[in-house]
Amino acid sequence: MKKSLHILADLYDCRGEQKYFIEKSAVRDRILRTVKKAGFQIVASRFHKFGDGGITGVIIVSESHITIHTWPEKTFVNVDVFFCNYTSDNSKKARAVFNYFKRLYKPKRTNRKEVWRD
């Protein structure tokens, strides 16, 4: 059974609140809360604000990682959700976290790829 789902997605023409594109603390707090609520153990996280631009965030969890990159000037967000686990299937949790990003950013269009890793 394949148990490691890696979701890679681009969210276009996002209509979510502007603060989730440009405010580091808003992005960090919401995402960390979501990861904890999904039941993952956060090992480390790092978020960076680019001048007047967007945010890049990396969250390392015991099961792998999440990354986010925002481009407020393009209303574009890129996310990478990967929760590997060899003892249980985390695919539902990975999809739930990804769907959280969609609700937060409200894209008009999404380009999403699911890659199964062994």
Which residues belong to the active site? 64, 69, 84
Residue 59: CB atoms within 10 Å: 22
Contact residues for 17 (Cβ-Cβ < 8 A; gap 6+): none
User: Contact, 57 vs 38, CB < 8 A?
Assistant: no
